[in-house]
Amino acid sequence: MSTESAELGHGHSPAAWTAVIIMLVAVTIGTVAFCFDIPWIVWASAVLLLLGLITGWVLAKAGYGVNGSKYTPREH
């Protein structure tokens, strides 16, 4: 049986998706650079990873997070 719940939609917001995509790209670039032994790109990807985290936080504070004023969740 199904039960209705008031789920917050964890991670289903533009802020979360943007942060996750940036961080996935950073990890992918860092992994490839690590395999080819290019340390400066590994460190640059670490910085990009942090920028992805900061971007998600800034977008959430700007209203694009789960409970933000500029985000309206879609019904499933």
Name which of 41, 24, 23 is nearest 32 in CA terms.
41
**Helical ranges in 4-38 per DSSP H:** 14-35
Reduced to 3 states, what is the DSSP secondary structure of residue 53?
helix
| Burial (Cβ within 10 Å: 0-12, 13-18, ≥19) of residue 38 | middle
**What Rg, from alpha-carbon coordinates, does the chain have?**
16
Q: What is the pLDDT of residues 24-74, one digit of tens each?
A: 999 999 999 999 999 999 999 999 999 999 999 999 999 998 888 888 777
More confident position, 7 or 55: 55
Q: What is the dihedral of CA 54, 63, 7, 73, to 10 degrees?
A: -120
State the pTM of this model: 0.82
